[in-house]
Structure 1
Amino acid sequence: MTTTAELLADAFGRVREEVRAAVDGLTPEQLEFRADGAANSVAWLVWHLTRVQDDHIAEVAGIGQVWTEQGWADRFGLSIDRLDTGYGHDSEDVAAVRGVSADLLTEYYDAVHEQTIRYVRDLSDADLDRVVDERWDPPVTLAVRLVSVISDDLQHAGQAAFLRGVLQRA
């Protein structure tokens, strides 16, 4: 019988695979490619999905974000607020995620993935009903938040993979 923890670890493992596949071997210039002036780049999509996962897991686990606690904000050196996750970014903000390598993106994702797995590996079914955000109606439970992160991550990883395909066909 599969446990809740095993199921969540598998889902986040699939995100990790998709992130790696989307950026593997791309140059910084390819990572910054945007299909038009208002589109997202592969770099922004992967940075954003990782920031959201980092932010949301840290919040529900009651721990610090990998981005700030492990020096990733400094390593990326972006001209945006250190706690920014990319939510609500406009075209100019998307363009600010530049000068990063595929290795830097995957290394940051790997660090967030490790923190995520450390957290989810001990969760039980009973933990999933805990309310983690009362700003919504109905309030958001841990289960809903985790599924939301996985869904958002996979959507953005799929968008990055699509852009990778566009680049490879060009």
Structure 2
Amino acid sequence: MFRPWFCSLILRLTVIQLRLETQFSTGALKWHGNLSEQVCAAGHEAGTVRVKDHPARRNAMTLNEFIEDAFAKEHEFLMDAVQDLTPEELAWRPGHEANPMGWILWHMLRVEDMWFQFFIQRQPEIWESEGWNEKFGLPTRDNGFGHTQEQVDSFPALDLTELIRYGDSIRAASLAYLKGLGPDDFDVVPREARPEMSVGAIFRQVIGEVYQHQGHLAYLKGLARTGGMSR
């Protein structure tokens, strides 16, 4: 048999629960916990509040901002890896069939230039429009894709400062293009012959590739400076 105090407690808890449910259903009560617990603070729709409508999410990062931030972090990592490389280190490679650091840096810059300027916007690449091909004495349409071992072996030594300047110009153009994109623009397919390469897929491709090559450069730099060049 239940004691009177226990029955009284159950009754009070039931009343409190009913009051809370009433306040929650009207949006009058607001949680102060984490975002997933604050559903009642955002208003409600058919009795169910959407977390995405919560005021805390109104300043959520957009896709454009995420991409810009990813590029900024990649550039930070890249500069840490290459800005103090010597000409000897740029030309060094750990094996005969490996790519030199200078070639890798040139290739990753050319790839970003090609995708955003030529492939998407159908306009001359920065490489050509600013005369970098003439400054470096290299072909206009070459970007390293499909290079043979002989082509890599004969690749010229490029000035690091000039390469970085070329990269800065490319990135400025890429970000300018990004700023003009709306949410639906990422679904656009620039070339019918490549239906799998939408604008969004190209951003994913470029971000993945520049991070990959930046990692290559950082690793090779560490390898070169821990005795690799003396072997």
The TM-score normalised by the length of structure 1 is 0.91
What corresponds to 2:55 in structure 1? none
Where structure 2 has 5 or more consecutive residues not aligned to the other structure, the ranges are 1-59
Equivalent of residue 152 in structure 1, options 184, 198, 209: 209
What corresponds to 2:168 in structure 1? 110
1:1-150 correspondence to structure 2 within 5 Å: 1-58=60-117, 59-78=119-138, 81-136=139-194, 139-150=196-207
Bigger relative contact order, structure 1 or 2 (CA pairs below 8 A, ≥6 apart): 1
Deviations 1:114-161 (A, max 9, x none): 11111011212110110123334x532110111001101111111111
1:67 corresponds to which letter in structure 2?
W
Aligned-CA RMSD value: 1.5
How far did 1:16 drift? 1.8
- SS of residue in 1 equivalent to 2:190: strand
Contact 2:102 2:157 in 1 (8 A): no
Count of residues in correspondence between the two structures = 167
Amino-acid identity (%): 31
**Which stretch of structure 1 is more off in the superposition, 36-45 or 98-107?**
98-107
2:131 corresponds to which letter in structure 1?
G
Where structure 1 has 5 or more consecutive residues not aligned to the other structure, the ranges are none
Off by >4 Å, runs of 4+ in structure 1 = none
C-alpha change, 1:97 and 1:18, in structure 2 (3 Å) is: farther
Which is higher, the Rg of structure 1 or of structure 2?
A: 2
CA distance in structure 2 between the partners assigned to 1:151 and 1:165 by the alignment:
21
- SS of residue in 2 equivalent to 1:131: coil
1:140 corresponds to which letter in structure 2?
M
2:121 corresponds to which letter in structure 1?
A
